[in-house]
Amino acid sequence: MKFLEKQLSTNRQLADSRIDFEATIQGNIDFNGTLFIDGTINGDLKGKSLEKTTVIIGMRGKLSGNLFCTNAIIAGTVWGDIHAKSLELQEGARVIGDLYYESLEINPAAEINGNFIPTEGHDIDSQVKEAMSEQETVRLLSSVGKLS
């Protein structure tokens, strides 16, 4: 565990943006570069430049939403689907949602409750567009239901 804490601390220091453990954010976030999360986010995370985005969710980090990025390193908790070319689930990681990935590394102490869906040869950008389109359809149907 000490090695993991040291590695996460180094990643935190090198990140372009950080959300610390005392912060809670409501809403979707678009980002570039490397985003380190030790706080709580209630919304989707989407890398703007999908070839160069990394999300690191620290041991205290919590995401309640979907994640779209190139590289994801998870040591905290995610309630939602993860779409990443490279996905690493570290000791203590807890994911309740489906995993879409090209390469996957899982620590035996990680907990996953969802489907494993390899996407080799599929474009992450098209997955983002498809998922966002599905969300927009759900929003439109919900609003139509409220009107009637």
Check residue 148 and give its pLDDT: 41
Taking CB atoms within 8 Å and a gap of at least 24, the contacts of 66-70 are: 66/97, 66/131, 68/44, 68/124, 68/127, 68/128, 68/131, 69/45, 70/124
Q: How far apart, in Å, are the Cα atoms of 83 and each of 79, 88, 89?
A: 13, 12, 13
Name the pTM for this structure.
0.76
Chain centroid to CA 59 = 14
Closest CA to 56 of 88, 28, 21: 88
Check residue 18 and give its pLDDT: 87
Query: Per-residue pLDDT for the chain (148 aa), expressed as one digit of tens each?
Result: 666 565 656 655 678 888 998 999 999 999 999 999 999 999 999 998 656 899 999 999 999 999 999 999 999 999 999 999 999 999 999 999 999 999 999 999 999 999 999 997 655 555 555 555 555 555 545 544 544 4
